[in-house]
């Protein structure tokens, strides 16, 4: 448990340091992301982005367990 919390904390620090460059990635604007804009209503569901993030994290976890 301690090791897991340590890696999560280090991961958060790395993401925070790389945020200016990560912000420019097209995540959140991929094909498959759902955006509905109406008067006084805005709905955004990042379906395409969620699938990409899930695949990348799954491959990373698989690679780390090998």
Name the residue ranges covered by the structural domains of the chain.
Answer: 2-65
Whether the CB-CB separation of 50 and 33 falls below 8 Å is answered with: no
pLDDT, tens only, 14-57: 989 998 888 887 777 888 899 999 999 999 999 988 999 899 99
Write down the pLDDT at residue 35. Answer: 92
Rg (CA), the chain: 16
- pTM above the 0.95 mark? no
Q: Which two tokens stand for residue 49?
A: 């982005």
């Amino acid at each position: 448990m301690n090791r897991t919390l340590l890696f999560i904390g280090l991961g958060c620090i790395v993401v925070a340091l790389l945020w200016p460059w990560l912000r420019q990635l097209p995540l959140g604007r991929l094909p498959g992301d759902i955006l509905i804009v109406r008067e006084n209503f805005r709905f955004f569901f990042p379906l395409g982005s969620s699938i990409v993030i899930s695949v990348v994290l799954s491959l990373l976890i698989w690679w780390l367990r090998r």
